[in-house]
Amino acid sequence: MTAVLDDLIHPDKVHGSLYTDQAIFADELRKIWYTTWVFVGHESEVPQANDYVRKRLGLQDVVMTRDKDGEVHLLLNRCAHRGNQVCDDDKGNSGSFRCPYHGWTYRNTGELLGYPYNQGYGGKNKLELGMGKVPRVASYQGFVFGSFAAEGPSLIEHLGAAAGEIDRLVGLSPEGRVGLSAGWLQHKTKANWKLLAENETDGYHPQFVHGSIFGVTGSPIGALYSDSSTAVTRNLGNGHSENDLRPEFRKFDEPMRWFGTTADRVPDYVAAMRETHGEDAERRMIEGAPHVMIFPNLFIAEIQVFNIQPVAVGECIQYATAVQLAGGGELNKRMISQSIGSVGPAGMLLADDTEMYERNQRGVETLTPEWLDVRRGLHREQVDENGFTIGTATDETGMRGFWAHYKTLMEA
């Protein structure tokens, strides 16, 4: 594969077959989705002991459970007897699961509890079997990730500088916590997952793809991604990237401008932030929420969180929800309302992004010119004070970071 990838991934261009080749997709499942840390869900989705919720990790049907001691597990939804699906509800509360096929029961930690007519196995507790589990599960600020690799970098090593962006989001909560408890919109997308990952911090497209909604609402978002914007695109390493909009918001120096409002329109929230964070509250409310793509599938778009999961080489699902800030007061309902307007299958932003993904997929299936160009801004990249490569608001610095890490994983 190494030689092949050297041919397909260059610093300034990537080959179209990366989005269409079944063999490459199969390799990605093995080397990325079933190896590295993948975002699965949030602890706030299983708040109580014995809560559970069905999730996807790559192509896997996973049950995220919280056991009676509070620990979160990712169980593979497959009976150890004949491979039947054990859990059929989307969510619920139960300390155990019973496979409907032959009645085998499992604790919500995956441990086999029992099997009917046990003399057929020589009695109780004779089988060294259990549900499959994602071997490594770790959380950061409640965001739950799973890795199928029994050994490897820790979650915190994988997140690297992107952890600070999650902190920035959580820092907008007066109680220092966020929840993802507002349900998920599920958006079926006929495009390769990488087209989405690349687009999330592509600051070049918003003025074009989203011009229709910026124009009719008078949204200032477009200007953040203009040629004259002072925002930067940052390669955070490990495939993560961000559009750092803070330079623009600092320029205006207005609390809550990042949310398209003013402090006096969300007084309870602003008061709670000042109560908790003192003088630093103003900085937080001026700089706003992050816009960060965390490799391979967690996209935090200010107030929305996306979980991208592949289905096939040319299909994926976008799960999207609204961030809920603990102690966020009136802001939380507004975040839900704004998210409904923006994202999901009818969203006034994401439906257009998704149309582009799907057209892009059809485009890359045509034969020539074979390559996708990712050189934008390569000649003007700089290194910031922390050693990260940065480009301007519209440069493809994030994509280049994505591909560099992708290549490392695929060559391993």
Partner 1 sequence: MTAVDASEDLVAVPDGFEVREVEQFLFREARFADENDYDSWEALWTDDALYWVPAGGADIDPINQVSVIYDNRNRISTRMKQVRTGKRYAQAPPSNLRRIIGNIELLGGRHNDEGGVDLEVGANFLAFESRQRGNELWGGRTTYRLRRIDGELRLAYKKVVLVDNDKAIPTMAFLI
Min CB(90)–partner 1 separation in Å: 7
Sheet of strand 96-98: strand arrangement: 96-98, 105-107, 112-114
Min CB(353)–partner 1 separation in Å: 9
In sequence order, the 6+-apart residues with CB closer than 8 A to the CB of 33 are 57, 58, 59, 296, 310
Min CB(44)–partner 1 separation in Å: 13
Min CB(209)–partner 1 separation in Å: 7
User: Contact at 8 Å (CB) between 56 and 309?
Assistant: yes
DSSP state of 265: G
Residue nearer to partner 1 on the CB measure, 326 or 351: 351
Measured distance CA(397)–CA(193) in Å, rounded? 19
Residue indicated by tokens 């090593």: 157
User: Contact at 8 Å (CB) between 53 and 97?
Assistant: no
Residue nearer to partner 1 on the CB measure, 49 or 356: 356
In sequence order, the 6+-apart residues with CB closer than 8 A to the CB of 79 are 85, 86, 99, 101, 102, 104, 131
Min CB(356)–partner 1 separation in Å: 7
User: Contact at 8 Å (CB) between 361 and 191?
Assistant: yes
Min CB(116)–partner 1 separation in Å: 31
Helices first, then strands: H and E counts in the chain = 14, 23
State whether the Cα torsion 193-197-202-205 is positive or negative. Answer: positive
Measured distance CA(7)–CA(17) in Å, rounded? 11
Min CB(311)–partner 1 separation in Å: 9
Residue nearer to partner 1 on the CB measure, 221 or 340: 340
User: Contact at 8 Å (CB) between 100 and 172?
Assistant: no
Min CB(346)–partner 1 separation in Å: 5
Min CB(306)–partner 1 separation in Å: 12
Nearest residue to 19 via CA among 158, 148, 189: 189
Residue nearer to partner 1 on the CB measure, 198 or 395: 198
Measured distance CA(12)–CA(307) in Å, rounded? 27
Chain residues in the site for partner 1 (CB under 8 A): 90, 182-190, 209, 211-213, 215-217, 317, 320-322, 333, 336-337, 339-341, 344-346, 348, 351-352, 354-356, 358-359, 362
Q: In angstroms, what CA-CA distances link 35 with 130, 134, 199? A: 22, 10, 23
Residue nearer to partner 1 on the CB measure, 188 or 250: 188
